[in-house]
Amino acid sequence: MKTEVSAPKAKIVAKELNIHNDLRIDPFFWLNQREDQEVLDYLKAENEYFEENMSHTKDFQQSLFQEMKARIKEDESSVPYKYNGYWYITRYETGKGYPIYTRRKESLDASEEILLDCNIEAEPHEYYKARGLSISPDNTMMAFGVDTVSRREYTIRIKNLVTGTYYEETIQNTTGSITWANDNSTLFYTLKDPETLRSYKICRHTLGTSVTEDVDVYEETDETFDVFVYKTKSKRFICIGASATLTSEYRFVDANTPLKDFKIFQERIRGLEYGMAHYDGHFYILTNADDATNFKLMKTQEDATEKKHWETLIPHRSDTLLEDIDVFEEYLVLSERTNGLNQIRIKRWDGTVDYYLPFDNETYTAYSSINIDFETEWFRYGYNSLTTPTSVIEFNMLTQESKVLKEQEVLGGKFDKNNYASERVWATANDGTKIPISLVYKKGIKMDGSQPLLQYGYGSYGHTIDPYFSTTRLSLLDRGFIYAIAHVRGGEYLGRPWYDDGKLLKKKNTFTDFINCSEFLIEKGYTSPAHLYAMGGSAGGLLVGAVMNSRPELYHGVIAAVPFVDVVTTMLDDSIPLTTGEYDEWGNPNEKEYYLYMKEYSPYDNVTKQNYPNVLITTGLHDSQVQYWEPAKWVAKLRNLKQDNNKLFLHTNMDTGHGGASGRFEALKELAEEYAFLFDLEGITE
């Protein structure tokens, strides 16, 4: 006889947490001991409970996995791009889950050189990720970072591309990003603090020497800043950046003389953000200087970089967010956002040309692609929409002709974009603000409240969730689901003020916006509380966690992936990765005003005795961004207090971190589990 697995009950050990004369009792604080066997046993018990209760969907999950995988072209290749005499291509082979990085000299007809076959490298590991592949200027060497734990701590390896052998030296605890000086022997890299994982130090390594001889070039002592290093597109300068949420600072040195001291570009000023590109004796500076909330473009000579020398080139506009620039020999390309929509603007340096690329709907995403070459009239960009697969397009800035280099193939023979519809609608927030929602669904469904709808949200760090195409999402749409992206405050969908209105002491706007979007979708007949589902990951997990505490009756189910839910305790612990660098996002709870405000919305602190929706929560044991114990504690507390018989599952991937499983298709298995959870609640069995 089959033994029924009962819901795990974590033991209660009252932990008193006292600050600002306010006492909090945390009954599950003990779950933060990653190596403790009792903790591991609890996580294992939750996994077994999840597996048992979802066992009747296993065949369906496998079918969903195969269905989603079948839409993806397995023997796929990236669009080739040429750099320093070589064409670079990333490709996949049928039956293999990891990329193969290759190049061909001068011509695409030349013989292929395999730089790195990640399938071979990944064989001994449960998790494998390579990043930051960086080729030396003379094309003979490659440096790259490897993570085999999923904590985003990369070990740098260096390969001789002539002999195919690896250099003996390896560099531990890095970001995996490497920058070569022009002498082909000097490398710069970024070290991470082994405890907090903050990127805090830039080091210089000389090829062929011991890592113990590496030189500390710059160390950032302010714990709210992270550092990084890169080379300008002009190949002229190596730059060190230090950034916090609201403040930037850069240093630079001539890439031909990498042993010299770095010169500061502009000293940090609280609230001054800037980044720069170099071209033809000038730096071009994207900045919020002089109250340019939505950013403007300035320029200065390379020997006069202080702010007092900056001159405005593209002025600030209150209705347009200037997001990025691409610099070419004769053209400047601006990536902008107006009324939530991506815009690509092309200007000739001599002022004779200034125009926008035409886009014709409200649910698309357009973005600059790989544009390494200076001396070209061709600009590459990507385009997709909620109903249109991704294309990489090459556009001639002189003649304005364009050619599609690659269109995303949706295999299986069933997809026709004409079978789907998308639209943008606007909900009204509590304070009267209009909140945009991007929707996609299969044509012909009834808008009578009977349709299941999955509402996705994020709303933090100024990160915008653009309306993008997804082959996996078709498995939802083809079974009658509507998919909605709520562009809530805290992102930058409607410009920088949209972000400012959803952080710090305005963070609650993010949650109420999401709720107002749900109410609007119900009112307009897109769905009903019996068929509405909320989903968010990381800071989006905080969003859905806060929402289901305050309005649980609105949702039939919630999926929270790697959710940041124990806000107060985490932000009070400066030993946890990312904490101190995020005071400008959430506030510093060591200050009473921010502490009390956080405490009012923190999902873990606000679990109460009430009914909750059906909930699936996922995490990774090695997560470096949201520690596994936050969702684990949250589930334990929900299980202890909730008054309903709805489903509550915690699934911990014991081998991975914040990004989930590695390998091209392994992540689809996790997605199939999430979809099966939704379909099961809707009574959809195939």
What residues are annotated to the active site?
538, 623, 658
Q: Coil, strand, or helix at residue 195?
A: coil
Q: Which helix (H) or strand (E) holds 543?
A: helix 539-550
- Half-sphere exposure (CA, 13 Å, Cβ side) for 398? 7
Q: Using CA atoms, how far apart are residues 149 and 151, in angstroms rounded to an integer? A: 6
Which one-letter DSSP state was computed for residue 419?
G
List of residues 6+ apart from 418 with CB closer than 8 A: none
The β-bridge relationship of strands 482-486 and 434-442 is antiparallel
Instruction: Name the helix (H) or strand (E) containing 561.
Output: strand 557-561
Query: Which residues partner with 142 through β-bridges?
Result: 135, 159
Pinpoint the alpha helices (H) of 159-227: none
The backbone torsions φ and ψ at residue 31, rounded to the nearest 5 degrees and listed phi first, read -70, 0
633 neighbors 597 (Cβ within 8 angstroms): no
Residue 566's nearest CA partner among 175, 88, 17, 81 is: 17
Q: How many C-beta atoms lie closer than 10 Å to residue 108's C-beta?
A: 10
Q: Would you say 527 and 445 are in contact if contact means Cβ atoms under 8 Å apart?
A: no
Contact 266, 239 (CB under 8 A): no
Main-chain dihedrals φ then ψ at residue 619, nearest 5 degrees: -155, 175
Q: Answer for the pair 240, 202: CB distance below 8 angstroms, yes or no.
A: yes
Q: Measure the CA–CA gap between 260 and 251, rounded to whole angstroms.
A: 12
The phi, psi pair for 128, rounded to 5°, reads -150, 130
Q: Which residues pair with 561 in a beta bridge?
A: 537, 618
Alpha-carbon torsion angle 123, 86, 400, 342, nearest 10? 30
Residue 81, SS3 per DSSP:
strand
d(Cα 450, Cα 440) in Å, to the nearest integer? 16
3-state helix, strand, coil in the chain (%, to 5): 20, 35, 45
**Token code pair at residue 530:** 């019996």
- Residue 301's contacts (CB-CB under 8 Å, 6 or more residues apart) are 281, 282, 283, 309
Amino acid (1-letter code) at residue 269? I
Q: Could you please report the per-residue DSSP string of 619-672?
A: EETT-SSS-THHHHHHHHHHHHH--S---EEEEEETT-BTTB--STTHHHHHHH
The residue whose two tokens read 């509507």 is: 482
> Considering all CA atoms of the chain, what is the largest pairwise distance in Å, rounded to the nearest integer?
81
For the chain, the distance separating the N- and C-terminal CA atoms, rounded to the nearest angstrom, is: 28
Q: Which residue intervals of 495-566 are DSSP H helices? A: 496-500, 508-523, 539-550
Residues in the chain: 686
